[in-house]
Amino acid sequence: MILERFRLDGQVALVTGGSRGIGLAIAHALGEAGARLILSSRTPRPDAVYGLEAKGYEVHYIQADLGNSADAARLVEKAAAVAGRIDILVNNAGISRHGATETFADTDYDAVMTINVDSMFKACRAAIPLMRGQGGGVILNIGSISGLVSNIPQQQVAYNTSKGAVHMMTRSLASDLAPDNIRVNAIAPGYITTDMTNGGLANPDWAPTWMQMTPMGRPGSAEEVATAALFLCSPAASYVTGEVLVVDGGYTAR
C-alpha cells in the first residue's frame, strides 16, 4: 500500500532540461512510476527519447530554448496541447557560470538569470492556471546547495544568487498555491556527476576541496537526485510543500 503511493500512473510530467543529466534521470524515475513524459531541451537528443521509449514509457519531446524566457510559457502551452494536461512540472533546466564578480560579463549574468530564474518563473506562471483547473498539481524546482551556502574555491556569485532565488520562489509559490492543491518543492543537489559538473570534478584545484567538504567523500549520481524527485512528485509526499530537499552527501552539514 505504501509503495503504491509512489505511483504516477496516467499523470503527465513535463521535464525541462530533460535530455541529459539530472533531468533525464528524473524522467526515467517518473516514467518507471507510470507517468506520461514530455521532455524538453534546447538541443534535441533523440537517443534520450529512444532510451526512455525502450523502457516502455510514453514520451513526447518539445524543443525549447529557455535562454529566451518567452519560450517557457510557449513550452507549457505546447505540452498541455500535446498531452491534454500537465500534472507535474519539473523545472530542471539550468546553467552555471563562474568568475570574479568585478570582471563578470553582463552576457553571462543575463544568461544565468534568464534560464535559472526568469524562465522558471514564467513556466510556473503558465502552469498554474492549468493545474488549478485540473484540481491540483505538483511543481518541482531544481535548486542547488549553491542557494544555501557560498561554495569554495570557485567564485560564482551570479549562480549562487540565481539558486537562492529558486528556493525563495519555491517557498513563496508553495504558500500561495496550497489552497489550490498545488504542491511546490525544490531539490538542492550537491556535487553530482553530470556534464555540468564533470569539468569541476576533474579540476585539480576544485575537486579536492569539494570532496573534502562532503562527508560522504564522493560526488552523487543523477539517479540519487531522481529518487528524491520521485518522492516529491508522488502522492507519497502529499503533505510536503514549500520544502528544499538537500541531496548533497552531507556537504551543507559542515
Residue type, 77: E
Residues composing the chain: 254
Among the options 57, 159, 191, 251, which is catalytic?
159
> Is 232:7 a contact under the CB 8 Å cutoff?
no
Alpha helices (H) along the chain: 21-32, 46-54, 70-83, 106-113, 119-134, 157-177, 195-201, 207-212, 222-233
> Is 128:78 a contact under the CB 8 Å cutoff?
no
DSSP states of 62-83: EE--TTSTHHHHHHHHHHHHHH
Q: What's the burial of 104, exposed, middle or buried (CB within 10 Å: 0-12/13-18/19+)?
A: middle
Annotation marks residue 239 as catalytic = no
Report the catalytic residues: 159
